């Protein structure tokens, strides 16, 4: 039994058309199928990196080459991975000028210091063969110059369960756009990306709300403590509602149950099990 679910963040930008929404759904469908085929012969950990790299390479999504521009005119990205078997987490925060932050997070996985930020993350990437790459799109520059501030809830992620029953999760973001320099997103924290042997979760939404509610960690912990995946989501999102939080999450548990929920119905997901493809919103 292998399972996979991915997300492409919230469809929240008012400037985006129905055509763009449909394009995102189609792209997610293709990537979900490609990643499932990859999962057949690879581990969950390898697959989540593969899937998120595909998402980072698609300019429709706010990660990698689709990343938002911050208030000082620069792009800074964050990404992380977590392996449910080893309970290891690695990530980069506010990294610049790399095409695929998720690949840098993967490279860090075998190091003792596994979460790097800013200049340290950039230096590590260069030292490990990641060439300088400008991820800025002309459309993002136009949005920046026109001060078309989006709601900033674009992130991509993947959770996978492999043939050995191992779970892993990955999340990557290009930020919320026009944020203060130095702002930390949830994507490279355990609040936004978490997995263990019982469950894996990837989040998107307002990073500050996700961190305040420790969304991914709470869901996984509650499943570990015996709650069903639905119960864990329901309780966590009830708590999120108490602070008027804006978030969405995807998950898979050890029994192969796939679940997703958001606080506002604008999130784009796709799941595939080899037969059934489901695309949401």
| CATH code, domain with 229 | 3.60.20.30
Using 50, 70 and 90 to split pLDDT, how confident is the model at 2? very high
Report yes or no: 21 and 181 within 8 Å, Cβ to Cβ.
Answer: no
In this prediction, residues 132-136 reach a mean pLDDT of 91
Which residue among 43, 110, 135, 155 is the active-site one? Answer: 155
The pLDDT, as a whole number, for residue 146 is 67
Give the model's confidence band at 253: pLDDT under 50 very low, under 70 low, under 90 confident, else very high: very high
43 catalytically annotated: no
User: What is the gyration radius of the CA atoms in the chain, in angstroms?
Assistant: 17
Residue that wins the pLDDT comparison between 13 and 25 = 25
Residue pointed to by tokens 């099990």: 273
209 exposed, middle or buried (CB, 10 Å; 0-12, 13-18, 19+)? buried
- Per residue in 80-124, pLDDT tens? 999 999 999 999 999 999 999 999 999 999 999 999 999 999 999
Contact between residue 187 and residue 193 where contact means Cβ atoms under 8 Å apart: yes
What are phi and psi for residue 46, nearest 5 degrees? -65, -35
**Per-residue pLDDT averaged across 173-178, rounded?**
84
What is d(CA 169, CA 176) in angstroms, rounded to the nearest whole number? Answer: 21
Q: What are phi and psi of 220, to 5 degrees?
A: -65, -45
Structurally, the chain folds into a number of domains equal to 1
- In terms of residue numbers, what domain contains 66? 3-280
For the whole model, what pTM was predicted?
0.92
């Amino acid at each position: 039994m292998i399972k996979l679910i991915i997300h492409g963040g919230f469809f929240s930008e008012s400037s985006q058309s129905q055509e763009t929404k449909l394009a995102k759904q189609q792209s997610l469908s293709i990537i979900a199928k490609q990643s499932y085929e990859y999962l057949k012969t690879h581990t969950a950990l390898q697959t989540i990196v593969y899937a998120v790299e595909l998402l980072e390479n698609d300019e429709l999504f706010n990660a990698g080459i689709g990343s938002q521009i911050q208030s000082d005119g620069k792009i800074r990205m964050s990404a992380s991975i977590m392996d449910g078997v080893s309970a290891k987490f690695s990530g980069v925060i506010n990294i610049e000028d790399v095409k695929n932050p998720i690949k840098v997070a993967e490279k860090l996985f075998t190091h003792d210091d596994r979460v790097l930020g800013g200049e340290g993350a950039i230096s590590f990437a260069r030292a490990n063969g990641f060439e300088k790459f400008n991820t800025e799109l002309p459309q993002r520059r136009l949005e920046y110059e026109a001060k078309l501030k989006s709601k900033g809830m674009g992130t991509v992620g993947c959770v996978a369960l492999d043939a050995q029953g191992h779970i892993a999760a990955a999340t990557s973001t290009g930020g919320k756009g026009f944020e203060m320099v130095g702002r930390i997103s949830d994507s490279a924290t355990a609040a936004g990306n978490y997995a263990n042997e019982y469950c894996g979760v990837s989040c998107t939404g307002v990073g500050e709300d996700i961190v305040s509610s420790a969304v991914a960690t709470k869901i996984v912990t509650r499943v570990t403590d015996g709650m069903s995946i639905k119960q864990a989501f329901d309780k966590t999102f009830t708590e999120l509602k108490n602070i008027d939080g804006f978030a969405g999450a995807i998950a898979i548990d050890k029994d192969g149950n796939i679940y997703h929920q958001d606080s506002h119905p604008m999130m784009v997901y796709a799941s595939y099990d080899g037969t059934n493809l489901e695309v949401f919103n």
